[in-house]
């Protein structure tokens, strides 16, 4: 299936950054991500490639993923297959790699091999598997397996960049490798490697990591520890500060303990992290989005007005909606988009709290809006599934097929159309829970005006005269504020015309300023520069 290439083809001009992520949200590869972290990981990788940074990203190839022909299979000196002890078995894996520039690569670990049983192959059936022990095995494969690949490549990264507690086993593998190779204690190895490990937290939720009782730790990692020359007791207990309140091994606490530097993904995220965990010292490095990936080509060398360009992009979104759902929206109506995971803290139900007001703005004959909602509910998220059913029932019961659309199977293709075609981008999380919110940046790149709770990156900008900020309040009050702003400011501003052919200069000026804010402050070019300077300490 994949052409084989010698592992010696992976070369760097200087020791690379090794970047670990559980998910990568590609445009042309499917079933490889669950949410914003995966999309951000690819944005970051693309930026590293554009700047030709020495950078090697590591992840997992999930079952059913469709990879482009640009991927190759690495052939090591002793063959392409590696073996990792997990519990009482040895799981075989291979390394698939893709080149982005002379110094920039992605490696995905693949276990769909004849050497593995069907049970083992199912480990990577679903991103963030809802079965806790399967999810644990996924993390072991990424962390320990990824570290094994770096060893086989004889790469000594300048920095290990680990995203969330999910990737903590990469640090554990490095720790054991260092201690075993140099015949030193874990404590001595810890002192040697902590300066080259950095960690990024993308949430303050405890669910970002696992909590392993000693028995479970022993069962799944015992053989690996012994083969590295250490007992489970030594590894499990080697350093204080890595246990939770129940004396379980916490992957997040271990990662924060071993990482020499850690960062949050917006200024407000770092503030809320400190409130939740007083011992936290996260550096604030706000996320960014890749301009070349997310700003529609129509904006490049375009002599049309912003309004005309947006009208064209809105039409593209409407065409996609019709193709995917059969529903036909209007090319001329104010188009409001809510698009993100259907999870509780993002409050996907918020527009439906006051159904009579929603129906009023949808059915106004002279100045109506149309709404597109998109986003997936995780199979184990009952709230998300109930909310989706409620939205679909509301559309059907009120005959809103030409005014309110749920766009299913949210993916990067759909995301491109949504962020490009939205006139207004609605963001409604509980404040402090949306660590950054990069989808709003993508919409902003395309002239989408922000209607948002002041959370994540939005909190860093003065939006007066540019966008609209919703109150930090309960869902009912926030919903009421959405409709108040729509009725009193947003809808009149959109539909009021200076003449027959164009909207007011003010709407266009707001679009221009929004684009400028994102281009000047919230791209991956700025973000990567901040990581190099503040987290990687690379000039």
pLDDT tens figures, 314-327: 999 999 999 999 99
For 491-518, letters b (16+ CB in 10 Å) and e give: beebbeeeeeeebbeebbebbebbbebb
For residues 331 and 318, give the distance between their C-alpha atoms in angstroms, rounded to a whole number: 7
Angle at 522 (CA atoms; ends 519, 524), nearest 5 degrees: 100
Angle, vertex CA 23, rays to CA 17 and CA 26, nearest 5: 95
pLDDT at 502: 55
**In the chain, what are the domain boundaries?**
4-289+528-535, 293-522
183 pLDDT band, cuts 50/70/90, is very high
User: What's the average model confidence in pLDDT over 265-284?
Assistant: 89
pLDDT(421) > 90: yes
For the residues 457-471, what does the mean pLDDT come to?
A: 98
Summarize the confidence of residues 490-512 as an average pLDDT. Answer: 80
Average pLDDT over residues 263-281: 89
Report the pLDDT averaged over residues 225-244. 85
Average pLDDT of span 213-219: 95
The pLDDT of residue 205: 61
Q: Could you read off the pLDDT of 112-159 as tens digits, one per residue?
A: 999 999 999 999 999 999 899 999 999 999 999 999 999 999 999 999
- The pLDDT assigned to 179 comes to 96
CA 460 to chain CA centroid, Å, is 20
Quick one: what percent of the chain has pLDDT higher than 70?
97
pLDDT surpasses 70 at 197: yes
> Which region among 221-225, 284-288, 432-436 has the lowest average model confidence (pLDDT)?
432-436
Between the alpha carbon of residue 388 and those of residues 317, 395, 399, the distances in Å are 21, 11, 17
Contact, 160 vs 171, CB < 8 A?
A: yes
What is residue 34's predicted lDDT score, i.e. its pLDDT?
Answer: 84
pLDDT above 90 (res 27): no
What is the band of 239 on the pLDDT scale with cuts at 50, 70, 90?
low
pLDDT of residue 497: 66
* Pair of tokens at residue 464: 């007066």
Tell the residue number behind the tokens 């392409």, with chain if given. 80
Average pLDDT over residues 212-221: 95
Stretch 186-200: mean pLDDT: 95
Question: In which band, very low, low, confident or very high, does the pLDDT at 392 lie, cut at 50, 70 and 90?
Answer: very high
Total number of residues shown for the chain? 539
> pLDDT-derived band of residue 378, with 50, 70 and 90 as boundaries?
confident
Considering the entire predicted model, what is its pTM?
0.94
pLDDT of residue 194: 95
**Fold: same for 4-289+528-535 and 293-522:** yes
The CATH code of domain 293-522 reads 3.40.50.2000
Confidence band for 498, pLDDT divided at 50, 70 and 90: low
* Amino acid 208: pLDDT: 59
Pick the CATH number of 4-289+528-535 from 3.40.50.720, 3.40.50.2000, 3.40.50.300, 3.90.1150.10: 3.40.50.2000
User: Which spans in 398-471 are helix H?
Assistant: 412-421, 438-445
Beta strands 261-264 and 197-200: pairing type?
A: parallel
Mean pLDDT, the chain, whole residue set: 93
Among 48-57, 123-132, 301-310, 415-424, where is mean pLDDT lowest? 301-310
pLDDT bracket for residue 365 (50, 70, 90): confident
């Amino acid at each position: 299936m994949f052409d084989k290439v010698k592992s010696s083809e992976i070369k760097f001009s200087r020791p690379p950054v090794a970047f670990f992520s559980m998910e990568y949200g590609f445009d042309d590869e499917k079933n490889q991500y669950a949410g914003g972290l995966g999309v951000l990981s690819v944005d970051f990788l693309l930026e590293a490639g554009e700047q030709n940074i020495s950078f090697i990203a590591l992840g997992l190839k999930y079952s059913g993923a469709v990879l482009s022909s640009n991927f190759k299979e690495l052939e090591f000196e002793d063959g392409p297959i590696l073996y990792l002890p997990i519990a009482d078995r040895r799981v075989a894996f291979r390394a698939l790699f893709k080149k982005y520039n002379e110094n920039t690569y992605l490696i995905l670990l693949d276990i769909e091999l004849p050497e593995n049983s069907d049970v083992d192959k199912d480990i990577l059936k679903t991103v963030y598997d809802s079965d806790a022990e399967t999810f644990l095995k996924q993390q072991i494969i990424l962390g320990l397996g990824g570290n094994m690949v770096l060893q086989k490549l004889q790469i000594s990264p300048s920095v290990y960049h680990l995203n969330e507690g999910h990737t903590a086993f990469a640090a554990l593998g490095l720790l054991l490798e260092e201690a075993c190779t140099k015949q030193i204690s874990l404590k001595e190895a810890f002192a040697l490697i902590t300066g080259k490990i950095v960690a990024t937290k993308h949430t303050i939720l405890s669910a970002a990591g696992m909590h392993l009782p000693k028995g479970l730790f022993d069962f799944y990692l015992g053989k690996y520890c012994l083969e590295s020359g250490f007992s489970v007791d030594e590894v499990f207990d080697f350093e204080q500060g890595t246990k939770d309140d129940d004396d379980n091994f916490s992957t997040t606490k271990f990662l924060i303990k071993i990482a020499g530097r850690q960062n949050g993904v917006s200024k407000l995220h770092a503030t809320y992290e400190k409130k939740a965990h007083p011992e936290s010292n996260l550096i604030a490095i706000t996320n960014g989005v890749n301009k070349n990936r997310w700003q529609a080509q129509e904006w490049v060398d375009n002599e049309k007005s912003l309004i005309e360009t947006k009208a064209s992009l809105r039409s593209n979104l409407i065409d996609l909606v019709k193709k995917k759902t059969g529903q036909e929206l209007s090319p001329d109506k104010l188009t409001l988009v809510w698009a993100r995971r259907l999870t509780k803290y993002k409050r996907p139900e918020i527009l439906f709290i006051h159904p009579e007001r929603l129906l009023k703005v949808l059915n106004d004959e002279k100045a109506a809006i149309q709404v597109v909602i998109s986003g997936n509910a995780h199979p184990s998220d009952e709230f998300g599934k109930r909310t989706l059913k409620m939205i679909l029932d509301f559309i059907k019961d009120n005959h809103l097929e030409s005014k309110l659309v749920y766009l299913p199977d949210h993916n990067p293709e759909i995301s491109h159309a949504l962020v490009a075609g939205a006139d207004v981008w609605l963001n409604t999380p509980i404040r402090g829970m949306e660590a950054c919110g990069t989808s709003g940046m993508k919409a902003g790149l395309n002239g989408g005006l922000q209607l948002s709770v002041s959370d994540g990156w939005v909190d860093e900008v003065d939006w007066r005269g540019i966008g609209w900020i919703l109150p930090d309040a309960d869902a009912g009050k926030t919903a009421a504020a959405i409709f108040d702003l729509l009725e009193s400011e947003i809808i009149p501003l959109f539909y009021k015309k200076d003449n027959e052919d164009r909207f007011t200069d003010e709407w266009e000026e707001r679009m221009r300023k929004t684009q400028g804010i994102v281009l000047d402050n919230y791209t991956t070019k700025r973000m990567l520069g901040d990581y190099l300077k503040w987290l990687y300490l690379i000039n």
